[in-house]
Structure 1
Amino acid sequence: MKNVFELTITVSSEDIDNLQHVNNLVYVKWMDKIATTHWSFLTKENPLPQYIWVVMRHEIDYLKQAGLGDEIKVKTWVGETTGITSVRYMEFYKNDVLLVKAKTIWVMLNAETFKPVRIREDVLSVLLS
């Protein structure tokens, strides 16, 4: 995997459900957090405020559990990007054990009209850097 972005999250009590592990919905919130954090990181030198991203589809495989206080390393990278969509992959690890893997399809929108726009070279060069 090239161009992998990483973030570490410590599981808090708000992340835990009645089964005493991280709730599935929390992973979706974390997926949004790392995607937006990665986009901000990629565009810090060259902001692209004319674009916003929305989720079109999530595919999530929950493999193992995480509990209170666990440190979760999240890895993300951008996959196939064509037309108006970009695929983003994510993996969540605890002590190098894969807990969750996900694939999300994002659609790029014009920030003013909220209409889909084609992903052009200016965005591609940022996503794949």
Structure 2
Amino acid sequence: MMQKFSLELTIQKEDIDDLNHVNNAVYVKWMNDVAKTHWTLLSKNHDLDDYIWVVSRHEIDYKSEAFFGDKITAKTWVGETRGVTSERFIEFYKNEVLLAKAKTIWVLLDAKSFRPVRIRENILKVLEPFK
């Protein structure tokens, strides 16, 4: 059974744009923060310091607005992972209302050379519960 990792966020004043709601660029920052937090948690008991992830593509659908002080829940899980890429899905909710949903394609790199490396079994095992 697929698990979803959740992270709670509170909208700060600096997250608000001229239209008085969360700026779209803030969602991109949150997507990175959620993915990084999740990966750090997943990989903490594994020797995976030789690898880093970089984004190659974001797709975001904005569904509803969020405002200063709102409490947001970000939920993420892993999609198809093969070759050098891995999909990650993230949904942002205020209570039960879907605010935005996103799909990001991440590329695995060697941490020293910054060249793409094939995602092998050691990483697949770490990601498996969230697929």
Residue equivalent to 2:22: 22
Task: Give the aligned length.
Answer: 129
**Root-mean-square deviation (CA), in Å?**
0.9
Provide the C-alpha distance between the structure 1 equivalents of 2:47 and 2:67, rounded to a whole number of angstroms.
37
CA deviations 1:33-69 (Å, max 9, x no partner) are: 0000000010111141000000000000001000000
Provide the C-alpha distance between the structure 1 equivalents of 2:6 and 2:47, rounded to a whole number of angstroms.
20
Provide the C-alpha distance between the structure 2 equivalents of 1:95 and 1:39, rounded to a whole number of angstroms.
25
Provide the C-alpha distance between the structure 2 equivalents of 1:67 and 1:87, rounded to a whole number of angstroms.
28
TM-score normalised by length of structure 2: 0.96
* Residue 39 (structure 1) aligned with residue 39 (structure 2): yes
CA contact (8 A) 1:3 1:128 kept: no
Provide the C-alpha distance between the structure 2 equivalents of 1:71 and 1:2, rounded to a whole number of angstroms.
25
Where do residues 1-129 of structure 1 align in structure 2 (5 Å cutoff)? 2-129=2-129
CA shift, 1:97, in A, is: 0.5
Relative to structure 2, which stretch is displaced further, 76-85 or 44-53?
44-53
Gaps of 5+ in 2: none
TM-score normalised by length of structure 1: 0.98
Moved over 3 A (4+): none
